[in-house]
Amino acid sequence: MDAWHADANGITISVRVTPRASRDAVLEPKAGWLPIRLRAPPVEGAANEALSRFLAGALDLARRDVTILSGETARMKRVRIAGDPEQLAQALERLYRASP
């Protein structure tokens, strides 16, 4: 999958966040990135915090396992998720397939 890259300790995801959406959701991956919609506004780090909480909750991980590596003030971000890379990739695929 082009949207994320795995290594021995987890995965790194390229995401494009759309803030102020009607609901939190992960959409089908595009060419090299994963679209994520969040209800939070892009103000004072609220969308970044919501992204971390959303991914941690959706993937059944601790909040500390999700780290924004780059793009804190941009819509395009790189996010690091610690854990078993195969399980995380499968969980992400289930997550975007379950979203409308």
Cα–Cα distances in angstroms (integers) from residue 99 to residues 1, 45, 48, 52, 83, in the given order:
18, 25, 20, 18, 23
pLDDT in tens, 14-73: 999 999 999 999 998 888 899 999 999 999 999 999 999 999 999 999 999 999 999 999
Non-local CB neighbours of 39 within 8 Å, separated by 6+ positions: 20, 21, 22, 23, 24, 50
CATH number for 17: 3.30.1200.10
Residue 86 lies in domain: 4-98
pLDDT of residue 94: 87
The residue count for the chain:
100
Token pair of 95 as six digits: 């997550």
> Rounded CA gap, 11 and 8, in Å?
8
Q: What is the pTM of this model?
A: 0.90
Number of domains forming the structure of the chain: 1
